[in-house]
Structure 1
Amino acid sequence: MPESHVQSRSSSSFADAARGVVAMAHFAGERHWVPATSGNFSVRIDGRLAAVTASGADKARLTEGEVIEAEISGPKHPRASAEAPLHLARYAADAAVGAVAHIHTLPATVLSRRHEAAGVLRLEGWELLKAFSGIQTHETALDVPIVPNDQDTDRLAALVEERLKVSGPAYGYLIAGHGLYVWGASAKDAIRHMEAFDFLLTAQLHEEAAR
């Protein structure tokens, strides 16, 4: 998709984008999804730039001064976290992605290890699947990709994007033993998707434990 088209659809300023980043971070922090300064959040500014949480920031208490402006396909920002490539790769791959959130919920982390060998976690039949944009019925299945963890996040981002090309429609993915990435067209959508995934993964964890 031409960059000019992306810019026309996503023309928010850095200040607007930074407020979206802070809103996502505080939402996650209130629910204890970003322990010990973990997690990352970002919002697309336009076809070239994104607002991203800076390295080391306490996401539960994030301020706009701890949000940086990063080039989606440019050199790494000196204050960018090691996991910034995973956010920027989503923006580069999909012009519809307007916000990305990375959280460390307990159900996501446990299930990512339990199903790592399969490479996918299937969520099926749950009513709350309808919380994801475009899903109209509980009579559906959502396959959440699981990728192995890697401290080389540029390599990990490339692996994720290759998986997403063949996985079919997705709203997030799991990194084994690490956590959950979700995205949406806006920060508001990403917040809804975070909350939906947490509920669904918690329900899945309890159902598996009861078997």
Structure 2
Amino acid sequence: MVEMNRRKLLGTAAGAAGAAAVAGAALTPAAQAAAKFGATGASAPVGPHPHVFSLTKAKPNTFSGGDLRGAHEEDFPILKGQNASVYMIHLDVDGVREPHWHPTAWELTYVMSGKVRWTILGAHPTGKYEVDSFTAETGDLVFIPQGFFHYFENASSTERLQVLVLFNTSSVEPNDDIGIVGSLNAIPRDVLGAVFGVPASAFHGIPTEVKPVVIAKKKR
């Protein structure tokens, strides 16, 4: 009788392990991106109520130039279908958020502390490219329309930058983020050379590893 119970127990454990493996393999692309991008599911820092999320306790993604942590539909379930997500981003001195754009979302950024330098490239109804470069400081709001190419960097040589970024999408940021490294890698080197009027070899130094979100650090 004891042996039968033991076998039953082992069988149950094996079944549970198999079910877990199947569940892992069945993760959606969004869930897989979320798993790489921060805490998900039961490990997410949701507060004592479904409407509360402990953003400062969320596991950060760390890069050479800073870090970020976010609340989105994969780790804050109440956001699902609400077209809302938020990220807290820190940039070290010389930190730069990779130039990028969001095809399906606008971006509203609040400067919590420090000074930030922005560059935004939008539509050009006048026939000229409308490039807007400016500096924002603590307490300022910066709005980037949907689809506009942009990036920001820490404008201080001594102080760390902290911003809070809100999107009108519930998805994980990498799912609505097209970075410049990925964009250049989508174009053959000889085509880049033709467009820029230089030999294709001029672009051989472009890194081939494409990451969903990058916070880099400028080299002095």
TM-score by length of 2: 0.29
Structure having the larger proportion of residues in helix: 1
Structure showing greater radius of gyration is 2
Structure having the larger proportion of residues in strand: 2
TM-score by length of 1: 0.30
